[in-house]
């Protein structure tokens, strides 16, 4: 009996020694941006500040028609100064760009966050569970992903109407499919790593592995992809507004401002240029940040961003 006990003790000690040699999760690295990335961060921060304080610093309300005429250059009158001129109805372009930042960027951020809540939840679940769960969710996701995003948006708006909650829901569902793909790919890569197998050997539960191993190691790639997905959502919302199906007048939105003031280009007005420039600076800046982070990781993140 004593010999059996000694044998069992030796087996336990051998297992403990084996656990001591198992690898831990990779250490977290600090992110250092290049000068291009730092400038891009400054541009993004600028527009985020405008989202918060834009309506308070605008000299006019977005609906006020205090201009002397339509498509005027920068000037002043008895009501105040029109820094970027007036639009096709004589409204202050600067004020409408400031108000429009809240609609364009605010709606896009909320829709992207909702898309990530849906996509990450389903993607990690599919990667961890596998089997029929993975197959069913993946096939449904592929069927949605196969349809062009603008076409889905047009069909949904035609059926449900155009309002801010509907725009957010449509954008979130459409882009959750792309988030699902990267979350599932990251989850599958992490689940086969040695430190996850070590956690499973220690008897850790599935939820603990997801919370302590999968999500922390997928955080940086997902955060980087968030920027890329935000750009897509901004362009999607702006495209719908340009077509007259996004944010409805008289509320200001950068995409609808471009469409409304296109005729001003004939008269030499920049009323359509300023909102287009706002869209370009914000989206390009976010893209530069994403590219910089991806380059620092050796391009491995970019391979998963589809």
Q: What is the mean pLDDT for each group of 10 consecutive residues in the chain (306 residues)?
A: 59 54 52 84 95 91 81 81 87 92 93 94 87 89 87 87 90 92 88 78 77 82 87 93 86 90 88 94 93 66 47
Provide CB contacts within 8 A for 293, sequence distance 6+: 31, 33, 37, 220, 224, 301
Question: What beta strand segments (E) does the chain contain?
Answer: 75-77, 80-82
Closest to 115 (Cα-Cα) out of 173, 200, 39, 199: 173
- Asked whether the beta carbons of 275 and 50 are under 8 A apart, the reply is no
Closest to 171 (Cα-Cα) out of 115, 242, 89, 220: 115
Backbone angles phi and psi of 71, in degrees to 5: 55, 45
Closest to 185 (Cα-Cα) out of 267, 272, 126, 107: 126
The predicted structure's pLDDT at residue 215: 82
Four-CA torsion 13, 19, 20, 24, nearest 10 degrees: -170
Distance in angstroms (rounded) separating the CA atoms of residues 250 and 252: 6
Distance in angstroms (rounded) separating the CA atoms of residues 133 and 48: 39
Tokens 């990335």: give the residue.
37
The predicted structure's pLDDT at residue 10: 63
Cβ atoms < 10 Å from Cβ of 119: 26
Q: What angle do CA 66, 254, 257 make, to 5 degrees?
A: 50
Backbone angles phi and psi of 204, in degrees to 5: -70, 145
Closest to 229 (Cα-Cα) out of 293, 172, 162, 166: 172
- Asked whether the beta carbons of 187 and 206 are under 8 A apart, the reply is no
Model's pTM, two decimal places?
0.81
**SS3 call for 304:** helix
Both tokens of 49, joined, read 């500040």
Distance in angstroms (rounded) separating the CA atoms of residues 82 and 58: 10
The predicted structure's pLDDT at residue 158: 85
Cis peptide before 250 (omega within 30 of 0): yes
Closest to 137 (Cα-Cα) out of 200, 179, 167, 172: 179
Closest to 228 (Cα-Cα) out of 156, 293, 300: 293
**SS3 call for 66:** coil
**SS3 call for 146:** coil
């Amino acid at each position: 009996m004593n010999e059996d006990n000694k044998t069992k003790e030796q087996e336990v000690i051998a297992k403990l020694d084996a656990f001591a040699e198992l690898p831990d999760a990779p250490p977290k690295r600090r992110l250092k941006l290049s000068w291009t990335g730092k400038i891009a961060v400054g541009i993004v921060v600028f527009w985020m500040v405008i989202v918060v304080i834009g309506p308070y610093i605008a000299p006019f309300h977005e609906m006020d028609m205090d201009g002397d005429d339509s498509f005027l250059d920068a000037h002043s009158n008895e009501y105040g100064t029109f820094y970027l001129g007036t639009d096709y109805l004589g409204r202050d372009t600067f004020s409408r760009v400031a108000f429009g930042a809240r609609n364009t960027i605010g709606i896009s951020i909320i829709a992207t966050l909702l898309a990530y809540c849906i996509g990450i939840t389903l993607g990690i679940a599919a990667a961890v569970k596998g089997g029929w769960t993975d197959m069913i969710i993946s096939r449904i996701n592929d069927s949605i992903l196969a349809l062009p995003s603008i076409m889905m948006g047009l069909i949904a708006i035609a059926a449900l109407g155009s309002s801010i909650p509907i725009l957010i829901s449509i954008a979130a569902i459409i882009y959750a499919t792309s988030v699902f793909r990267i979350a599932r790919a990251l989850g599958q890569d992490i689940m086969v790593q040695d430190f996850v197998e070590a956690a499973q050997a220690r008897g850790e539960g599935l939820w603990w592995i997801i919370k302590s191993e999968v999500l922390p190691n997928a955080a940086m790639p997902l955060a980087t992809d968030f920027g890329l997905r935000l750009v897509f959502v901004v362009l999607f919302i702006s495209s719908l507004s340009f077509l007259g199906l996004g944010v409805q007048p008289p509320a200001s939105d950068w995409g609808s401002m471009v469409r409304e003031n296109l005729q001003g280009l004939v008269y030499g007005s920049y009323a359509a240029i300023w909102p287009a420039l706002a869209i370009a600076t914000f989206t390009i800046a976010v893209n530069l940040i994403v590219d910089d982070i991806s380059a620092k990781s050796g391009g491995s993140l970019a391979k998963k961003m589809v």
